[in-house]
Chains A and B, each alone.
Chain A
């Protein structure tokens, strides 16, 4: 499978715990995006990388959230001291940096439930 893969697909945690999600983008894509989606809403932009550089972060990304893409390939999204409001689907997407190819390819998402 050469699509975007995310792990884990589901995570249940207790409030206050830390969680980490991993995303492996399509191999030739140098842009990687993180989105959050809650029930009944469209995906909301969190942050994106071009290669290993994090170019933009949304105001939604509080200090408890950190994303990395150390070698310009896979990325991790860590949430520290989780809160119930963090419960959502975390979607990763990748794309080519070429402005003529704006399509984002999404993974299946990592669903987080904070109890």
Chain B
């Protein structure tokens, strides 16, 4: 399949390691944030979201941290698996009108 993001920042990890993907957002008025996973040739897939009145939210194997002071968002993936290999995008939403996507990060998981 065709690759998404040939020139994206890349994070390479070993299977079983924890992964941390970082994102800086631009608008201090953003009130909702989402992490998406995109596999080659496919559309973005929802992973986890967080509202601006929270600083941490946990899902299954994933945790999102929000630092509004420095406008920083991170996605932590525990016990990373080869199936987690993909491009990850953060997206910010102002007033629940539309999502604005950041530059993605490619995650490569080696067995």
Contacts and interface: CB of A to CB of B under 8 A. Distances in A.
A102 B49 contact: yes
Interface string B61-83: 00000000000000000000000
A108 B42 contact: yes
Given A40-B7, A56-B98, A91 B44 contact: yes
Q: Is the interface of B mostly helix, strand, loop or mixed?
A: loop
Q: Give the contact-size bracket for chain B.
A: 20 to 34
Given A42-B103, A103-B49, A107-B43, A56 B5 contact: no
B101 A102 contact: no
Contact of B5 (A41, A99, A111): A41
B5 A39 contact: yes
Contact of A109 (B43, B89, B93): B43
Interface of B: 2-8, 32, 34, 36, 41-46, 49, 89, 91, 93, 95-104
Interface of A: 4, 33, 35, 37, 39-45, 48, 55-56, 91, 93, 99-100, 102-109, 111
